[in-house]
Structure 1
């Protein structure tokens, strides 16, 4: 996924950084927020 897409999702609150990748420090690893799940038309998974 293009970095700009991921950054835009973070800026909109649809995703948040998840962890730093020591093998690929330039990668931005994120996960969807509740708002992100709803933006794609799905309910967020139960914790």
Structure 2
């Protein structure tokens, strides 16, 4: 949106889709982290937590 490439409507649609995908992945998130052996230090990275 900042550069005029997305309309507000399209930006909101993208946000809804991302949120929907996150909800779908949430039930298996711990399994994915374990499968990829992601260390706890990385999970607590400032770039990953809001």
Structure of greater Rg = 2
Normalised by the length of structure 1, the TM-score is 0.27
The structure in which a higher percent of residues are helix is 2
Normalised by the length of structure 2, the TM-score is 0.26
Q: Which has the higher contact order (CA 8 A, sep 6+)?
A: 1
The structure in which a higher percent of residues are strand is 1
